[in-house]
Structure 1
Amino acid sequence: MRAFGVPGVAIAVVERGELAWHRGFGVADVASGAPVDADSVFECASLSKPVFAYLVLQLVDAGVLQLDSTLVDYHRPDFLAGDDPRLARISVRDVLRHSSGLPDWRAHPDRDPLRTIAEPGQRVNYSGEAFFWLQRVVETVTGQSLDQLAQRRLFAPAGMHGSTYTWNAHAARHSVTGVPAPDARPVVQTFRAQWPLLQPLAEAQGKPLPAWTWGRRRARAAAGARRRARGHVRVAGRPARQCRGQPARAGAGLCALHRPRHAPRTAAGLGDR
C-alpha cells in the first residue's frame, strides 16, 4: 500500500460460497483518518457492468427481454442520430458482449447525437453508451428504476442489504474518499460529488433517488447538478476541472454497492470513466 500510494483497502476471502475471512486495512478518508471497516464502500468503476448483465439475463429468462431483439424495439431515446441506420440493428446481445458498434462515450453528450463507429455484431468495441441505452430499455419495459430492480432481483435475495445502484444515506456515511495516484492530477469522485447535489431535488419532489428512472426531467436535473459541480466541487484543495459522468446511469457514474453477507462492501460504477 505504501509503495503504490494506496491509503486503504478491504479484503474478503470466500471459500465454497461462504465468507471465510475479511478485514480492512488503512484509512477510508485521509483527511479524517477514519479507518476502512466492514461498512466501507469503494467505487470500483465498471465492475457493476457484469452485475447489470446478470440482471438483464434474469429479465430474458422471465420473457421480459429477448437477447436478439433490437434496442429500438423497446426504446428509442432522443439522443440517437437520425441519419445512422446501423443504430436500428443493435441487439441486447450486442450490448452485453460489447459488439454494439457504439463508442465508449461521446465527448459532448449534451450536443452530439449518438452514432455508431462500427457495424453492430462485427467486432468487440467497449461501450458505456450501449449499457446506458440498455439501462433505459430495462427501465422502460419494467416501469422500475435500475436500483429498484436490482434490490428486488439481486441484492435482497443475496442478503446485500447495504447495496445500491444510486446513492443513499448509508453510502454518504461510508463512501471511501478517493485519492489520485502518486504524481497524478486530482480527479473528481463522481458519486460523492454529484449525488448530494441531486438529493435536495429528490426531497423536494418527495421521491427518493433510488426510485428515479432516466427520463427527460432526470436528465435535466443531472445536467444542472453537473454544472453546479463544475463550479463548486473541490478535490484535494483545488477546484475540480470537470465532474465527469451522470448520476445513476448505466455507463457514467452508476454506482453499485454490492456486498455478500458480513463481507466488506465494495462499490462499482457501471461505466465509470
Structure 2
Amino acid sequence: MSEFRDSGTFQGERMPKRPNIVWFLAIGATLTGVAMPMGTPAIAVSAITSHPNQKSDPPSDRIAAAMRAYLRDLAAKEQFTGTALVVRRGEVLVRAAAGAADAEEDIPNRPDTVFRIASVTKQFTSMLVLKLRDRGLLGLEDRVCPYLIPGYIRTCPQAWRPITIREILTHTSGIPDIQQLPGFYIKLSQPTTTRELIQRFVNKPLDFKPGTSWKYSNSGYILAGAIIQAVTRKPYGTVLHEEITGPLSLRHTGYSRRNPPAGYAKGYFTVGSPAPPINGSQAFSATGIYANADDIVRWDRSFGAHTVAPPATVKQAFTPQAPCPSNGCLNLPSSAYAFGWLVDRLHGHRLRYHPGLLQGYAASNMYLPDDDIAVVVLSNVEETDTNGIARHLATMALKSASAHDH
C-alpha cells in the first residue's frame, strides 16, 4: 500500500500512477467543538500501533478498525475516491483519503483536500438567510420579488408574486429547477452573472402553486443568494466569510466566482474520466461552495456549541418545514425538508443531512445532533455513493457510541 505524509498543504505529493488508498487516523484525537485543523499530523494506518498518551478505548478502537476496513474495501473496488471523516463527541473515529485528486498529475487525495461540495452549499445559504432574518434585514414570510427588483429582474412575474423567502429555501415555491432546463450543463464551465442565471427561469411556468407541494429546485437557492446580496449590498462570498467561515475559522471553505484555491480536487464522472471544470458563478449560492472535510465537521459541531447562531436559530434550521414526497426528498430516506437539511431518523436517532451532486463531484454531510456525531464524505468522482457510505459510517458511529456508553 502506498503511503505518504500529510504535509499540511493542498498541493499534494507526486505518487505512482493510480495511487492506492492512503489512510489517516487520529488515534484518540479529540476535538473540543472543532474539527482537526489542516496541518494536524496524520499517521498512515499501516504504521499505527498505539497512542502512548491515551488510554485504550477498546469499543472505539474496534469500530474505528471496522470503519477503515469498510472504506478500504470500497476503495479497492474503486467505489470510494475522496475523503471521509467521522467525529463522535469530539473524538476522531476515522479520517481517510483514497484515490487521486488529480489523476493526470498523479496527485493523491489527502484528508485535508478541498472539494466542491455541491448542494451541501444549501446548509450555508439557509443559515445566512436565518442570520440576516435575526438581524431584521428580511423576513421568512416576505415576498421575494421586492428584493429582486430592479437588480435582478425588471418586473415580478404574476406567478411569482405570492412566493416567499421561506418557500424558496424549502423547495416549495414551484419555481422550476435551473439544472433541469436545457443548456445548463453546456454553460457550466462558462462565467456568468447572477442576473443572467435568474433570467433563465424567471418566465418559466411554475411546477405547482407556491406552498402546495415539494420539488427540489436549485433556482430557489440562486434567488436566496441574490436576496442575501441585495440586503447586505455585498457579494455572496463576502457575506459567507463574514457571517460563517470567518467566525468559525473555516479556513478552507469559501465561495469563488471562478475556481477554488489551487490544489483542490479535480472532478471526474467516473474513475479516470475527467469532467469539465465548473465555473463558480454558474453554481453560485445553490451549489458553489468548496470545503474540506475538517471544516465541514467544524461547521456541524458549531450547532451544538451555538457558535454559528443562537440556540433558537439552530433549532429552526433543523426543524421540519415541508413534508417530503412518499418516496422521500430527492428519493433519499427522509420525512421532511428543513432549512438546507433533510430530516430523518437513523436507528431511532435524529439525523440531519444533505447530499451534493454536481458534474464530477459528490458529497454528503450527516449530523446526529443528539449524539454529536458528524460524518462527512466528499468525493471528486460523481458516481460515488457518498450518501450510502456516510449512512453506513453513521450507523457504525452510533454502535460505537452505544458501546462506549455501556
Q: TM-score, normalised by structure 1?
A: 0.66
Q: Deviations over 1:95-152 (max 9, x none)?
A: 1110011011133566664332211111102111111112111101101111111111
Alpha-carbon distance in 2 for matches of 1:76, 1:83: 8
| Aligned equivalent of 1:224 | none
Following superposition, the deviation at residue 271 of structure 1 comes to 8.4
| Aligned equivalent of 1:12 | 85
Following superposition, the deviation at residue 257 of structure 1 comes to 2.1
Matches within 5 A, 1:122-141: 122-141=212-231
Structure with higher Rg: it is: 2
Contact 2:115 2:292 in 1 (8 A): no
| Aligned equivalent of 1:212 | none
Q: Deviations over 1:138-168 (max 9, x none)?
A: 1011011111111111112222111111168
- Structure 2 unaligned regions, length at least 5: 1-74, 184-196, 300-353, 360-406
Alpha-carbon distance in 2 for matches of 1:95, 1:64: 17
1:272–1:72 CA distance, 2 compared to 1 (3 A): farther
What is the identity, as a one-letter code, of the residue corresponding to 2:172? S
Matches within 5 A, 1:143-158: 143-158=233-248
Is 1:103 matched up with 2:176?
A: yes
1:61–1:263 CA distance, 2 compared to 1 (3 A): closer
Alpha-carbon distance in 2 for matches of 1:271, 1:92: 24
Following superposition, the deviation at residue 22 of structure 1 comes to 2.1
Alpha-carbon distance in 1 for matches of 2:251, 2:136: 27
Counterpart of 1:60 in 2: which secondary structure? helix
- Structure 1 unaligned regions, length at least 5: 196-245
Q: How many positions carry a matched residue from both structures? A: 214
| Aligned equivalent of 1:250 | 285
1:247–1:142 CA distance, 2 compared to 1 (3 A): same
Contact 1:128 1:271 in 2 (8 A): no
Alpha-carbon distance in 1 for matches of 2:355, 2:276: 14
Alpha-carbon distance in 1 for matches of 2:358, 2:132: 24
Q: TM-score, normalised by structure 2?
A: 0.46
User: Greater relative contact order: 1 or 2 (C-alpha under 8 angstroms, separation 6 or more)?
Assistant: 1
Counterpart of 1:70 in 2: which secondary structure? coil
1:270–1:95 CA distance, 2 compared to 1 (3 A): farther
1:42–1:83 CA distance, 2 compared to 1 (3 A): closer
Alignment partner of 2:113 out of 40, 50, 75: 40
1:18–1:90 CA distance, 2 compared to 1 (3 A): farther
The structure that is strand-richer by fraction is: 2
1:26–1:99 CA distance, 2 compared to 1 (3 A): same
Alignment partner of 1:65 out of 134, 138, 143: 138
Alpha-carbon distance in 2 for matches of 1:38, 1:79: 39
Alpha-carbon distance in 2 for matches of 1:42, 1:127: 22
Alpha-carbon distance in 2 for matches of 1:255, 1:114: 27
Q: What is the Cα-based RMSD across aligned positions, in Å?
A: 3.5
Alpha-carbon distance in 2 for matches of 1:168, 1:264: 25
Alpha-carbon distance in 2 for matches of 1:264, 1:25: 21
Q: Deviations over 1:180-204 (max 9, x none)?
A: 2269x763231xxx36xxxxxxxxx
